[in-house]
């Protein structure tokens, strides 16, 4: 919910912008920390979800590690105070330049996704006289039952090493003198709310862990990825993800040997609810079959609805229950100003009768929002403001 103070502040601020509720972010981080520490789990923040400077500073202050998917993310993690011993570098297409950057920074681990990548890291580490710690990302072929654009754990996906390739992985590891196998790594998808998917993951991790143990490998870290979803439909009443149930599944079903660490890579669940995209109505177009609210924000500020067909709650905060001028609701297609037909946040949204200048909030935009903004149509960079 937005207070009268928020509304006054928003009215005086040029739109569009992202509004960050840092208090909610802190409450979310504390809930995650409390739930994970109960079992001694290690949580790395998936930086690709949001690398807003104040967001990173806040997350780092709670003692989380960083899960990075580019060389620049690795550098940013170190610069924002994430200790190098808590930085991991994942990604299916690491360049030589990025690998060398991470080697120079002596990060904790590379999450490796192919035999060829093992060979490249081995050669680059050898040239520097270093030993690179690696974890093998294995494709467990577990269906997360989420949108097909954001599933990552099936054999049809580009990510990870398939199970039938593991003998080649084992042979390569034995022949690479500049690599140290630290762990095995998994990630089955994003926006997962069915805990049964994580239970199925645990079963596969147990099986594949044993495969390595039987072949003489010492696995120090079981990295089970992330993927925990949030409630996009009720951002005020369910604004903190169910960390308690999430971590309990792994405690109940993951077989951990003495001295092993269990690592997680959470992104969306930590940051999604803490931000909203705030825009103004530029024009109201009333037609015979459709009514349109044309906003000053579009796919250049928040591309998720256009890219993933993602749902976001949309509210006219100028016509909220406290200061509503009209009593009727109208169905609107809420669209942006970009010269693309796909530039539509949602169709047939029930909103109070809306007017030019009204403020619109697109909720649950803290994950994959600001970080995916672009300058298409030579648009200005979207700005951010924060709760006091």
Calculate the alpha carbon distances from 261 to 42, 174, 188, 220, 371 in Å: 7, 23, 19, 6, 30
- Checking if the pLDDT of 156 tops 90, the result is no
Classify strands 359-362 and 314-316 as parallel, antiparallel or unpaired.
antiparallel
Closest by CA to 2, choosing from 312, 384, 356, 276, is: 276
CA gap 254, 231 in Å, rounded: 26
Percent pLDDT > 70 in the chain is: 94
CA gap 35, 61 in Å, rounded: 17
Q: Which residue(s) pair with 134 in the sheet?
A: 110, 181
Q: Is 377 left (phi over 0), alpha (psi -120 to 50) or beta?
A: left
CA gap 275, 37 in Å, rounded: 26
The domains of the chain, with CATH numbers, are: 4-17+273-386 (2.40.37.10), 22-272 (3.20.20.10)
Global pTM value? 0.94
Q: What is the pLDDT of residues 63-84, one digit of tens each?
A: 999 999 999 999 999 999 999 9
Q: What is the mean pLDDT of residues 196-218?
A: 96
Count of other CB atoms within 10 angstroms of residue 244 = 13
Token pair belonging to 22: 């840092």
Lowest-confidence pick of 145-154, 337-346, 351-360: 145-154
Per-position DSSP letters for 27-44, written without gaps between them? HHHHHHHHHHHTTT-EEE
Closest by CA to 176, choosing from 228, 261, 116, 102, is: 116
Per-position DSSP letters for 341-370, written without gaps between them? TT-EEEEEEEEE---TT-EEEE-S-TTTTG
Chain Cα centroid distance, residue 174: 34
Q: What is the pLDDT of residues 79-136, one digit of tens each?
A: 999 999 999 999 999 999 999 999 999 999 999 999 999 999 999 999 999 999 999 9
- Checking if the pLDDT of 152 tops 90, the result is no
CA gap 313, 297 in Å, rounded: 15
- Checking if the pLDDT of 149 tops 50, the result is no
Total residue count of the chain as it appears in this document: 388
Dihedral sign (CA 382, 92, 181, 183): positive
Q: Is 294 left (phi over 0), alpha (psi -120 to 50) or beta?
A: beta
Q: Please, what is the average pLDDT of the chain?
A: 94
């Amino acid at each position: 919910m937005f207070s009268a103070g928020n509304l006054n502040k928003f009215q005086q601020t040029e739109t569009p912008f992202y509004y960050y509720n840092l208090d909610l972010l802190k409450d979310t981080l504390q809930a995650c920390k409390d739930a994970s520490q109960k079992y001694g789990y290690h949580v790395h923040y998936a930086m690709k979800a949001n690398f807003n400077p104040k967001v990173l500073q806040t997350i780092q202050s709670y003692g989380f590690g960083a899960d990075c998917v580019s060389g620049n993310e690795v550098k940013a993690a170190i610069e924002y105070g994430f200790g190098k011993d808590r930085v991991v570098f994942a990604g299916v297409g690491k360049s030589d330049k990025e690998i060398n950057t991470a080697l120079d920074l002596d990060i904790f681990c590379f999450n490796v996704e192919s035999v060829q990548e093992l060979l490249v890291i081995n050669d680059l580490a050898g040239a520097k006289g270093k030993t690179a710690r690696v974890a093998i990302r294995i494709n467990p072929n577990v269906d997360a039952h989420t949108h097909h654009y954001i599933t990552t754990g099936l054999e049809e996906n580009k990510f990870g090493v398939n199970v039938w390739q593991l003998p080649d992985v084992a042979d390569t590891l034995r022949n690479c003198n500049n690599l140290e196998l630290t762990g095995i790594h998994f990630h089955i998808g994003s926006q997962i709310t069915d805990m049964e998917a994580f239970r199925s993951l645990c079963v596969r991790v147990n099986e594949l862990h044993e495969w390595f143990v039987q072949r003489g490998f010492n696995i120090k870290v079981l990295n089970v990825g992330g993927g925990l979803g949030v409630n996009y439909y009720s951002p005020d009443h369910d604004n903190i993800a169910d960390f308690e149930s999430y971590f309990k599944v792994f405690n109940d079903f993951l077989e951990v040997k003495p001295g092993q660490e269990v690592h997680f890579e959470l992104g969306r669940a930590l940051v999604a609810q803490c931000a909203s995209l705030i825009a103004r109505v530029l024009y109201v177009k009333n037609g015979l079959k459709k009514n349109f609210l044309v906003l000053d924000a579009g796919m250049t500020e928040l591309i998720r609805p256009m890219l993933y067909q993602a749902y976001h709650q949309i509210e006219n905060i100028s016509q909220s229950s406290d200061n509503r001028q009209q009593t009727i609701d109208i169905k609107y297609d809420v669209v942006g100003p970009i010269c693309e037909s796909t530039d539509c946040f949602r169709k047939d949204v029930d909103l109070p009768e809306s007017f030019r200048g009204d403020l619109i909030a697109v909720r649950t935009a803290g994950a994959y929002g600001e970080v995916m903004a672009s300058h298409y149509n030579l648009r200005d960079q979207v700005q951010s403001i924060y709760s006091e």
